[in-house]
Amino acid sequence: MPSATGSSAILRTLRHPDYGLYTLGNSVSLVGMWMQRISIGWLTWDLTHSGTWLGAVAFADLFPSVFIGLIGGVAADRLDRVRVIMACQGTAMLLSVLMGVLTLSGYVTVELLFVLVFLGGVVIGFNQPSRLALVPSLVPRENLTTAVAINSIVFNTARFIGPAIAGLVIVASDVAWAFFANAVSYLALLVALAVIRRRNPGAGRDPGAVRPRTGIIADIGAGIGYAVRHPGIGPLLGLHLVGSIMVRPVLELLPGFSDHVFQGGADTLATLTSTVGIGAVVGGWLLARRSGTDGLVTLVLASTAGISLAVLAFVATDELWVGIAAAAVLGAVMVASGVGLQTVVQLAVEPSIRGRVLALHGLIFRGGPAIGALMMGTAGDFVGLPLPVGIGAVVALAMTGVVALRSDRIRAAIEGPPPAVAVPSSGNGGGT
């Protein structure tokens, strides 16, 4: 049967009961998550007015994926992914409640906030590989590109709605209520996952995948070795790493841009963050209407170059309306790059190692901005935020050009017959 295209592809994908229910619960949870993320950024800025602290808190949120994400990838390949996600959601809910209580009672300090955000980052880093690897078990392979794009639409619709609500909450009452709202939102996904698990106990595993029980270190090494040796996945993940460090941190530094560059407050921050979300929703909607793998490599390379150009436009002005326009374009090309890359990995990877390779993708996605935000935020305290962010965009653009020189080989590995890439052996013995 030919693949559906356009709006019919979106509707057909959402009609798969487990995926539709997961998307509904995830939508509510992500709105709360974005409320909390924007509120953490504003609370950090309000407590310190320091680019260094802004970068440090972003680092605490994102960097734990570097050391816990690969372990989470092993868990995603060994354990029931639905159970892993549920356990992580429950833990994150408790952390949100604690953050809200401390803020509302007036006991919160930037140091306490840093610790709580770090713990939340550990939970999210461990959780992310299971969330990414769960999607292929909820939809048929022919609907995977659309499902990944729908996930991006949901994520970025929440990026629009969550900050808008958070901005109203911060201005009208207290930032603590955004943390409490996020805690409640976790219940939606927990209920959805419980229903999915009850009616489809096998949803958390890839059918037929072979999972040798070897040591954790050996399993992690196997995942990294596979990704590095793959002629398509390896170069694109390298480009993803450079882009995540050099241009993605602009989103974590938006509170500083809102205040120092655009001379605004929490409402300006909410406007910029929501605009990124609107652009991303439009980009995700257009991508969800396509099917197949043709053109995915070109999409990733072109959109990654577009990210750098949009960031350069954003940092080149102190006019808010220009910044808003650049933010909208940035959202659209970011989602095009992200959906294209994740689809490439999902389609090309060997199922038995899917969780570990996606963990590497997630590690870069969260760890790269952590490093970049810390470096650029610190530099911004001395020279202002636009200069270091602009330099990062130029470096990322140059890296895109380098990878584009190998595009024919990458395209053949991704869009042609699967390349012969062995899953590295990690032995037959070992514990956990």
Q: What is the pLDDT of residues 366-379, one digit of tens each?
A: 778 878 888 998 89
What is the mean predicted confidence (pLDDT) over 102-120?
93
Specify burial of residue 15 (Cβ count, 10 A radius: 0-12, 13-18, 19+). exposed
Quote the tokens at residue 321: 């309306």
CB 130 within 8 A of CB 75: yes
DSSP 257: I
Is residue 3's pLDDT more than 90?
no
pLDDT at 411 over 70: yes
The amino acid at 253: L
pLDDT tens per residue across span 6-43:
567 778 888 888 899 999 999 999 999 989 988 998 89
pLDDT band for position 427 (cuts 50, 70, 90): very low
- Interior/surface letters 186-222, b for 16+ CB within 10 angstroms, e for the rest: bbbbbebbeebbeeeeebbbbeeeebbebebebbbbb
d(CA 387, CA 176): 33
User: Cα dihedral sign for 67, 227, 241, 204?
Assistant: negative
Euclidean distance between CA atoms 196 and 115, whole angstroms? 33
- Residue 430: the pLDDT is 37
Report the pLDDT averaged over residues 248-255: 87
Span 251-270, average pLDDT: 84
Predicted pLDDT of residue 149: 76
Residue 42 has phi, psi (to 5 degrees) of: -70, -40
Q: Tell me, what's the pLDDT at 432?
A: 32
The pair of three-digit structure tokens given for residue 431, joined into one six-digit string: 């514990």
| Closest C-alpha to 118, from 63, 42, 69, 181 | 63
31 vs 222, more confident: 31
State the Cα–Cα distance between residues 153 and 159, nearest whole angstrom. 10
Tokens 């650029």 correspond to: 376
Percent of residues, the chain, with pLDDT higher than 70: 90
pLDDT digits (tens, 9 = 90+) for 56-86: 888 888 778 777 888 888 888 888 889 999 9
Averaged pLDDT, 371-396: 90
pLDDT of amino acid 206 = 60
Quick one: tokens of 421? Answer: 């890439």
Q: What is this structure's pTM? A: 0.70
Identify the band that residue 346 occupies on the pLDDT scale cut at 50, 70 and 90: confident
DSSP state of 416: S
How far CA 268 is from CA of 37, 43, 166, 285, 373, in Å, comes to: 15, 15, 12, 26, 20
Q: Name the least confident of 85-99, 100-114, 213-227, 417-431.
A: 417-431
> Is the predicted pLDDT of residue 4 greater than 60, yes or no?
no
**Class for the domain spanning 6-415:** mainly alpha
52: which 2 tokens? Answer: 């260094």
